[in-house]
Amino acid sequence: MVAWRRALSAAILLLGAFAVSTLATARGADRSRCAKSFPRVIDDGFPQPPMRFSKDGKLHTKLRMTKGAATVNGRTYTGAGTYEGTYPGPTLVLCAGDEVTVDLTNGLDEPTNLHVHGLHVSPSDDHDNVFLSIPPGKKQTYRYKLPLDHDPGAFWYHPHLHHHVSAQIFSGLSGAIVVQGGLDDTLADVPQRTMMIQSTELCDPSGHSVPFALTALSASDPQSSGSEHATSPAS
Name the 3-class secondary structure at 86.
strand
Is there a domain that residue 19 lies in?
Answer: no
Q: How many domains does the chain have?
A: 1
For residue 176, pLDDT beyond 60:
yes
Is there a domain that residue 91 lies in?
Answer: yes
Name the 3-class secondary structure at 96.
strand
Summarize pLDDT for 82-110 with one digit per residue, the tens.
999 988 999 999 999 999 999 999 999 99
* C-alpha to C-alpha distance for 173 and 222, rounded to whole angstroms: 27
Return the exposure string of 180-200: e unless at least 16 CB atoms fall within 10 Å of the residue's CB, then b: bbeebeeeeeeeeebeeebeb
Please answer whether residues 74 and 203 qualify as being in contact, where contact means their C-beta atoms are separated by less than 8 angstroms.
no
For range 163-192, the mean pLDDT: 91
Regarding pTM above 0.85, the answer is no
| pLDDT at 26 (0 to 100) | 43
Task: Tell me which of 21-25, 44-48, 98-102 is least confident.
Answer: 21-25
Is there a domain that residue 228 lies in?
Answer: no
For residue 222, pLDDT beyond 80:
no
For range 125-130, the mean pLDDT: 96
Instruction: Share the mean pLDDT of the chain.
Output: 80
Is there a domain that residue 73 lies in?
Answer: yes
| pLDDT at 94 (0 to 100) | 97
- The CATH number covering residue 164 comes to 2.60.40.420
For range 28-47, the mean pLDDT: 82
For residue 72, pLDDT beyond 80:
no
Is there a domain that residue 225 lies in?
Answer: no
Is there a domain that residue 45 lies in?
Answer: no
Return the bridge partners of 134, or none: 112
Is there a domain that residue 26 lies in?
Answer: no
* C-alpha to C-alpha distance for 102 and 158, rounded to whole angstroms: 13
Q: 157 falls in which pLDDT band (50, 70, 90)?
A: very high
Q: 205 falls in which pLDDT band (50, 70, 90)?
A: low
| pLDDT at 202 (0 to 100) | 67
Is there a domain that residue 139 lies in?
Answer: yes
Domain that holds residue 106: 51-217
Task: Tell me which of 73-77, 143-147, 152-156 is least confident.
Answer: 73-77
